[in-house]
Amino acid sequence: MDIMKAVEASQLRELAPFSIGDLIKVNFKIVEGKTERIQVYEGTVISMNHGGVRKTFTVRKISFGVGVERVFPFHSPRIESVELVRPGRVRRSKLYYLRDRVGKSAKVKELIRKKAVAG
């Protein structure tokens, strides 16, 4: 069992910190034959599942009026980077209710953090 945990620990990677409701850009490596390219997928994080090596996150975006969701493995070597575009303010751990919403009601409010004033 210790060998399994050691192998899992060696494959874990750290990405930029993000949470549910955040608007993120995922730079994902696409392999087409012998060529590789980076595809940028921008959307709202609606869920995070599992833990450890099996951890995944689901990103939802609206493309030409149609909702598109994609599940990314958190520790995949094909993920080049994850950029936080805008932090979201939510009170749920899963945002599946966004699937039924259209237009402005499908947006997540922005989290505005107050900065400490030194004085």
Tokens read off for 97: 């209710």
Res 26: pLDDT: 95
**Residue pointed to by tokens 């997928």:** 41
Decide which of 90 and 10 is more confident. 90
The 10s digit of each residue's pLDDT in 33-75 is 999 999 999 999 999 998 888 899 999 999 998 899 999 998 8
Residue boundaries of the structural domains of the chain: 2-98
Contacts 24+ apart (CB under 8 A), 9-17: 11/53, 11/75, 12/52, 12/53, 12/75, 13/75, 13/77, 15/74, 15/79, 15/81, 15/82, 16/81, 16/82, 16/83, 16/84, 17/84
Q: CB neighbours (10 Å) of residue 108? A: 19
Domain 2-98 belongs to what topology?
Answer: SH3 type barrels. (2.30.30)
Res 9: pLDDT: 74
Query: Which stretches does DSSP call E strand in 1-119?
Result: 23-32, 35-49, 56-63, 66-73, 79-86
Res 60: pLDDT: 95
Res 119: pLDDT: 57
Is the pTM higher than 0.85? no
Pair type for strands 66-73 and 23-32: unpaired
Residue 8 has pLDDT above 80, yes or no: no
The 10s digit of each residue's pLDDT in 89-119 is 999 999 999 999 888 888 888 888 777 666 5
